Amino acid sequence: MWHADTMPRTHRSLPATLGRGLAAGALAGAAGLGYAAGVEVRWFALRREELPILPAGSRPLRVLHISDVHMTPTQRRKQAWLRSLAALEPDLVVSTGDHLAHRQAVPTVLDALDGLLDAPGVFVLGSNDYYAPTLRNPVRYLLPDDGRRNIHAPQLPWGSLLDGLTGRGWINLDNTRGALTIGGLRFAFAGVDDPHLGYDDLSAVAGPADPDADVRVAVSHAPYQRVLDAFARDGYDAIFAGHTHGGQLRLPGYGALVTNCDLDTRRASGLHRHPACSPPGAPGSTWLHVSAGMGASPYAPVRFCCRPEATLLTLTPRAAA
C-alpha cells in the first residue's frame, strides 16, 4: 500500500490531472464557441483570386462574388460591410443565393446592395431565399447531408427579392441563360435554380456554351456534382457557387468537415478545378470558385477558422496553349 508521501508522482496526480484536463477542455470549448459566435462570425474578409479565362490581349476585369448573405434587418455590421463593397467598383457582380434569413429582410438586402446594383450583375436563388430559417439540431450542421430539406417552413418573399434585383438590371439565371457585354467582351451565362432543393432543371440550360462568346460563366447556389459535371461538359470556363459556407466550422490544420452537398470537403471554398484533378485546358475541365459566404443561419450564428467573406476575382487572359 502506498502512503501519500511515498506514492509515485504519476499515481498521486492522475485524478487531479484528469480533472484539470477536462476543465481545460471545457474552458477551451467555451472560449472557442464564444470566439466563433462573438468575433469570427462578424469578422468579414475580402479574398482575392486571379482567374485566367479572358481572351489573349484583354484588359483585366474584376468580378465580385458574394454569396450566402443570410441577412436579417438587425445585422447592421454585415449591412455596412456589404454596402462598403461597392467601393471596389467591380465590372461584374455574381451573387450565388441565400440572400435572406428573415421575412422583412428584402428591403434591407436591397439597401445594402444599392451601390453594387449599379454594376452589371447576375444571380441565382438558394434554399434560404425561399424558406424561413428554422431551429434545428446544431449537430446536423456537422453531419453529412441527410437529404432532408427545410421546405415546410414559411416561405420568404423571394418574389420581391427577384423584382428588386432584376429591376436594377441584374440577370436572374435560375434555370436559364443570359448574356452581357462587359469591357467590350461578350459574356455568356447559364445558371440553375437551387440544386439543394432539387429545383435545378439542367435540361433547360443543356448544350454547348455559346461558342461566339468571349467568356462563358455558369452559376449555381449549391455545387452538386451533377451540376458541375454538366457545366464542365458544356464548355463553361468557370462555375461560381456558394452554399457550403466553407464548412462554417473548420478544424485548424484539417479544414472543412462538411459541404452540405456531395462536393468533397477539399473544395468547400476557394478556387479549384472541376473535375478536381483536371489540368487547365483538359477536355471538360473548368474553373470552380466556391464562396464561403458572408453569413450563417440565425439559429447557428457561428463560424470558426472560416471567416465570412466576399471574393474579388481578377479575370486575366488565358495562358497561351
**Chain residues in the site for Fe ion (CB under 5 A):** 68, 98
Closer CB to Fe ion, 95 or 285, in the complex: 95
How far is it, in rounded angstroms, from Cα 266 to Cα 255? 8
Matching residue, cell 454585415: 78
Angle at 220 between CA 133 and CA 79, to 5 degrees: 50
Q: Shortest gap between Cβ of 98 and Fe ion (angstroms)?
A: 4
How far is it, in rounded angstroms, from Cα 103 to Cα 156? 5
Closer CB to Fe ion, 68 or 234, in the complex: 68
Q: Shortest gap between Cβ of 245 and Fe ion (angstroms)?
A: 6
Q: Shortest gap between Cβ of 73 and Fe ion (angstroms)?
A: 18
Q: Shortest gap between Cβ of 209 and Fe ion (angstroms)?
A: 27
Q: Shortest gap between Cβ of 159 and Fe ion (angstroms)?
A: 20
Closer CB to Fe ion, 120 or 126, in the complex: 126
Q: Shortest gap between Cβ of 97 and Fe ion (angstroms)?
A: 7
Closer CB to Fe ion, 91 or 98, in the complex: 98
Closer CB to Fe ion, 68 or 174, in the complex: 68
Closer CB to Fe ion, 68 or 91, in the complex: 68
Matching residue, cell 458572408: 294
Q: Shortest gap between Cβ of 279 and Fe ion (angstroms)?
A: 31
How far is it, in rounded angstroms, from Cα 171 to Cα 168? 9
Closer CB to Fe ion, 150 or 314, in the complex: 150
